[in-house]
Structure 1
Amino acid sequence: MSTLPTRTRFAPSPSGHLHVGGARSALFCWAFAKGHNGQFLLRIEDTDQKRSSDAASTGFLEDLAWLGLDWDEGPQWHGRGGGDTGPYYQSQRLDIYEPFMQQLLDSGAAYRAFETTEELGAARKLARAEKRAYRYDRAALELDPDTVERFVAEGRPHVVRFKVPDDEPIVVQDAVLGEVRLEPGELEDFVIRKADGYPTYHFAVVVDDALMGVTHVIRGQEHLANASKHALLIDAIGFDRPVWAHVSLIFNPDGSKMSKRDKDKMLRAEVKSRGLDSPPEGCGISQEQWANWLADKKSQLETSAAASLAGVLSITLPEINVDDFRRAGYLPEVLVNYLSLLGWSPGGDREQFDRSFLVEQFGLDRIVKSPAKFDRSKLLAFNLDAIQAMDDDQFVVRLQAFCQDFEPEFLEAMSTHQFKLFALSNKERSKTLRDPMDSGWFFVQSDEQIEWPMTKAIRKALCKGEPNGFDRLAAIRDLLAAAEPWDPAHLEEILSTWAETNCEGNLGKIAQPIRVAVSGGPVSPPIFDTLEILGKKAVISRIDRCLANRENAMEASL
């Protein structure tokens, strides 16, 4: 057992916002380090230049910060990070890798290979034709040292391969899975430096973990196949092996792997079902982008373009990335709670807890081997519980912060008093922070934007009965116009008194027509709160427009 200070790391490649699987790995690393009075490191693995961008790495940083997973060492960002073992971007560490690469070359543990991409492609094609698995044939080892030296001096493009031992198995001890064994001959000589001079992930991660003092590597089982390569490199260079712990994959409820491509699959299926050959109006995607996307099944639209297309098509994409859940109105503490249950058990029947409990209880011995299934219904139930447990002031603050980030028009359209009333009138029925906005768009629409489609509910509220909703609206209109003060208590007094005389005391017979008139639909917060938030001018304007539409509505209802 290592006596070194516990140091874990999360090392994403900067290819977009954080997938929930990556977030779960980061969470486990963070919790384990904090529970052992250790340090949690963040390192950006950007040696794959095709997949990396500064904007993408910023997305990861935002996601981790939102979840509350602050890193002790790593990229400096909004007061987080720094440290003595950087740089924390692999692309800035090339000089650090070179002595270790040369050590492997000098010892004969690695060698230069000069085959071109075309030559390797032809070899793979031949292997397929002969129905055998492709394996690099070590042709480069047949080159004499003088030839290798001459090729290097000429600047001939080449890679560096690690020479895998032929006569002994590769054994890795895993804290979750136990002994993982790879028999001789199962692993080919793998590339550790690419032709562009950049080290591969396998080489860089081994050097970085060792020099940064990482003691525990906690990651998803998709990386298990890499552990044997890393063990060979660690042993060849002379580093100490860390403790490896590979946690189960996360699946959708139907058993399919939860993937970033799930959103793309849904968009492609919808586009195909509608027979769309060109981008629909308003999605912001050019014809060229559209054609390239449809032609290449492996390509994906940018996040903003995908969201825009989904909006135009009126479909809801599945939440896959942390940012998806943030935008959908989930609370970070709830997502942390739920993710911790995907592959780990606190024991007993307890399922809902805070970060402090997780840090105190988390251990590798309670990580489960079986795959985890992401149950969105359960997550939503957790979120509902958390919202309902908030006091009123806390909910108002959290909803205000959400609107500042994603729906600022609600803050712009309402005074502080109106927004507080809007928040509290929605709290009891909100499962997410987005729910009030999804059902309350009529609050920020102009009076002229309100429409009354003849759905069954609207037809019943406005057109059915004798007198019908239109009749009652016309009768109450002037009474509302004269109402002073314009507040829930006085409005309730006015409408209740009117209902006693004209609706046999049934307030709903006038409240529902008013609700439909001012919102364009049958659902809103409590009617008196709704009227105060909108204000008298908007309420009277919308009632007048609704009454002006009476003839068309009655014809449409027949």
Structure 2
Amino acid sequence: MLRIEDTDRERYKPEAAEALMADLRWVGLDWHEGPEQGGPGGPYYQYERSHIYAAYYHQLEQSANAYPCFCSEKELEMARRAQRAAGKPPRYPGTCARLSAQEVERKRAEGKPETLRFRVPPGEEISFVDAVHGEQRFRTDDLGDFIIRRADGTAAYLFTNSVDDALMGITDVLRGDDHLTNTPRQLLILRALDLPAPRYAHMGLILGDDSAPLSKRNGSRSVADLEQSGYLPEAVANYLARIGHVYEQGEQLLDLDELAAGFDPSRLSTAPSRFDPNHLLHWQELAVQAASPLRLRAWMGIDALTPPGYADELVSAIRANVRFPEEARDWAKRVFGPPPELDDKAHKALVEAGEGFFAAAADCAEQGYNRYQGLTAAIKEQTGAKGKALFMPLRAALTGRCSGPELQPLVDLMGGERVVERLRRAAQVAAEDHGQREE
């Protein structure tokens, strides 16, 4: 079920909710109940549930479990400073908890902004079993009365989620451990309203390299950014499923059903986890290798860069060496385009092999030895070069790089004219470098 928590109207942006749903769909996490799907628990935008919350607010006020608060932010900050100075944790001092009905009406008549606070019972202990952290105990005297309705009339997170979890049949709540201390407050709300409580599990937060919570500043990227960069959804899903959680299958790529079946709260870590971009790349590599050729061809976007009928062969030739579409398109250009630009290592390999090596190689190719096996055998016979001295300069001349996919299928895809053109270009580069050194 998908629920959009949009009661904070100052921060809510409709486009953010649309982006969230698009991200979920891309990863493959389609919802059975929620926005655009409907269901028995709706509405699924919390702002549209204001009438539901209003009824429960009234119930809490009638039972004296909630009361109006007229304290200004300045007054609250002064109280917090005084508590800190006294070595006490800051919490609401209960200033408005004992206002008479007449005082409440007078403050309302004066137009003072009004929030609604939940009245926390004193002298109690709230306990629950967290699926990750085990038994948890909180003293109500340490909590303080908390806001459940803001001054603008909108519902606060603690209240809306408690009520909606109960009304929508949520059985388990898994969230970051920064919400652990919210749980006793939510349990108090549910008890006061005689609503069922879910089971809670709180896992460690995801941190960046600087040990701060993950954000754009320390490496976080949106799901849309990952999609646009060429990450496959199953790579992202497998990585996210393993942040702070261990699977029995280890590093095996799993589909969403397998990820769900293998999830176990007891395998969640209580410690924070670090975002590791290299680990994400690992899952991307596995996802690319597991994808079908037809899917990879569309993902790579190479059809416009390859002659008709050659795209599938190119996919097979390069799939083990590419992680992103731009890498695949680069290889398509290197194979089927004009002679590729030489990187520094490739240029050095050409110079070291010398003009004579490439002139002989070009002659072999022009004589019809332009398939890989025949070409390398002919060059070896003509020049005596073998091993690395044969294959490295040949790779450098034909692809512009000294590393990459297996050379044999690339050469066979290039065709004779391109092979000859690139070998002649290599001979020229080697000759020019030799001439410059003599000068």
Taking structure 2 as the reference length, what is the TM-score of the superposition?
0.81
The aligned length equals 436
Which of 153, 158, 162 is 1:206 aligned to?
162
User: Given the alignment of the two structures, is residue 72 of structure 1 paired with residue 32 of structure 2, yes or no?
Assistant: yes
The 3 A distance-change label for structure 1 pair 557 and 67 is farther
* Residue in structure 1 matched with residue 294 of structure 2 by the alignment: 397
User: Given the alignment of the two structures, is residue 414 of structure 1 paired with residue 314 of structure 2, yes or no?
Assistant: no
Alpha-carbon distance in structure 2 between the residues aligned to 1:222 and 1:535 = 61
Confirm or deny: 8 A CA contact 1:459 1:557 kept in the other structure: no
* Residue in structure 1 matched with residue 331 of structure 2 by the alignment: 440
Counterpart AA for 1:522: C
Deviations 1:210-251 (A, max 9, x none): 221222223332221111111011111221112223334456
Q: Secondary structure at the match of 1:75?
A: coil
Cα shift at 1:104: 1.7
Q: Secondary structure at the match of 2:154?
A: coil
The range that moved more, 142-151 or 439-448, is 439-448
Superposed counterparts of 1:262-277, under 5 Å: 263-265=216-218
Deviations 1:408-427 (A, max 9, x none): 4x343224633322221123
Confirm or deny: 8 A CA contact 1:110 1:162 kept in the other structure: yes
Counterpart AA for 2:25: A
Cα shift at 1:121: 3.1
Counterpart AA for 1:402: W
Q: Note the aligned Cα RMSD (angstroms).
A: 3.9
User: Given the alignment of the two structures, is residue 423 of structure 1 paired with residue 312 of structure 2, yes or no?
Assistant: no
* Residue in structure 1 matched with residue 128 of structure 2 by the alignment: 172
Alpha-carbon distance in structure 1 between the residues aligned to 2:92 and 2:174 = 31
* Residue in structure 1 matched with residue 271 of structure 2 by the alignment: 371
Which of 511, 514, 521 is 2:401 aligned to?
521
Alpha-carbon distance in structure 1 between the residues aligned to 2:437 and 2:270 = 56
Superposed counterparts of 1:310-349, under 5 Å: 318=219, 322-323=223-224, 326=227, 331-333=232-234, 335-337=236-238, 339-342=240-243
* Residue in structure 1 matched with residue 214 of structure 2 by the alignment: 260
* Residue in structure 2 matched with residue 306 of structure 1 by the alignment: none
Counterpart AA for 1:463: V
Confirm or deny: 8 A CA contact 1:45 1:89 kept in the other structure: yes
The 3 A distance-change label for structure 1 pair 510 and 130 is same
* Residue in structure 2 matched with residue 184 of structure 1 by the alignment: 140
Higher RCO, Cα 8 Å, sep 6+:
1
Alpha-carbon distance in structure 2 between the residues aligned to 1:372 and 1:129 = 31
Q: Secondary structure at the match of 2:140?
A: coil
User: Given the alignment of the two structures, is residue 61 of structure 1 paired with residue 14 of structure 2, yes or no?
Assistant: no
Confirm or deny: 8 A CA contact 1:260 1:320 kept in the other structure: no
Alpha-carbon distance in structure 2 between the residues aligned to 1:372 and 1:118 = 35
Gap runs ≥5 in structure 1: 1-40, 266-317, 484-488
The range that moved more, 334-343 or 182-191, is 334-343
Cα shift at 1:199: 0.9
User: Given the alignment of the two structures, is residue 530 of structure 1 paired with residue 418 of structure 2, yes or no?
Assistant: no
User: Given the alignment of the two structures, is residue 452 of structure 1 paired with residue 342 of structure 2, yes or no?
Assistant: yes
Deviations 1:116-153 (A, max 9, x none): 23333343344445554322222223543234234435
The 3 A distance-change label for structure 1 pair 96 and 423 is same
Larger Rg: 2
Which of 459, 462, 475 is 2:350 aligned to?
462
Q: Secondary structure at the match of 1:173?
A: strand
* Residue in structure 2 matched with residue 247 of structure 1 by the alignment: 203
The 3 A distance-change label for structure 1 pair 520 and 341 is closer
Q: Secondary structure at the match of 1:440?
A: helix
Deviations 1:276-301 (A, max 9, x none): xxxxxxxxxxxxxxxxxxxxxxxxxx
Q: Secondary structure at the match of 2:8?
A: coil
Which of 97, 101, 104 is 1:145 aligned to?
101
Cα shift at 1:556: 8.3
The 3 A distance-change label for structure 1 pair 339 and 544 is same
Alpha-carbon distance in structure 1 between the residues aligned to 2:75 and 2:435 = 75
Gap runs ≥5 in structure 2: none
Deviations 1:379-410 (A, max 9, x none): 6556555655x4xxx5322323433xxxx4x3
The 3 A distance-change label for structure 1 pair 156 and 439 is same
* Residue in structure 2 matched with residue 45 of structure 1 by the alignment: 5
Alpha-carbon distance in structure 2 between the residues aligned to 1:522 and 1:473 = 16
Alpha-carbon distance in structure 2 between the residues aligned to 1:235 and 1:135 = 22
Alpha-carbon distance in structure 1 between the residues aligned to 2:437 and 2:226 = 40
Alpha-carbon distance in structure 1 between the residues aligned to 2:4 and 2:414 = 48
Cα shift at 1:107: 2.4
Confirm or deny: 8 A CA contact 2:318 2:331 kept in the other structure: no
Taking structure 1 as the reference length, what is the TM-score of the superposition?
0.66
The 3 A distance-change label for structure 1 pair 198 and 379 is same
User: Given the alignment of the two structures, is residue 119 of structure 1 paired with residue 9 of structure 2, yes or no?
Assistant: no
The 3 A distance-change label for structure 1 pair 344 and 180 is same
Superposed counterparts of 1:214-293, under 5 Å: 214-250=170-206, 256=211, 259-261=213-215, 263-265=216-218
Confirm or deny: 8 A CA contact 2:130 2:202 kept in the other structure: yes
Percent identity, aligned pairs only, is 32
Alpha-carbon distance in structure 1 between the residues aligned to 2:103 and 2:422 = 86
Alpha-carbon distance in structure 1 between the residues aligned to 2:420 and 2:384 = 25
* Residue in structure 1 matched with residue 53 of structure 2 by the alignment: 97
